[in-house]
Amino acid sequence: MVSAVELNYNNMNTQPLSTEDFQRLQKELESIKAFLPEHLMGPFWSWCNQIRGSKERQPCGCKSAAGHWSRCVDELRKFVRERSEQV
């Protein structure tokens, strides 16, 4: 079964991020291993919302929200990988 986020992601006709934002996202993702620095939470969540085509509220940075952040980073990595393959 395909989630609503995947449907929206797979059916996008436009590039949700500018070239500048995409390059910054690529750079920032390369530095992320197991810990998402607090100063990147805002931009990462914003980029996730742009890619998803949604306006979800940003979760807190506490341990209980780790699943939200993990999914966000995974989606961003998938987006970067797929967009890089298109070029």
Q: How far apart are CA 30 and CA 78, in angstroms?
A: 13
Q: How far apart are CA 47 and CA 77, in angstroms?
A: 11
Confidence category of residue 1, pLDDT binned at 50, 70, 90: very low
pLDDT of residue 20 exceeding 50, the answer is yes
User: Helices 19-31 and 38-52: crossing angle, nearest 10°?
Assistant: 130
Confidence category of residue 12, pLDDT binned at 50, 70, 90: very low
Q: Is 21 helix (H, G, I), strand (E, B) or coil?
A: helix
Could you tell me how far CA 77 lies from the centroid of its own chain?
7
pTM for the full predicted model: 0.78
Domain limits, the chain? 18-86
Q: Mean pLDDT, the chain, as a whole number?
A: 85
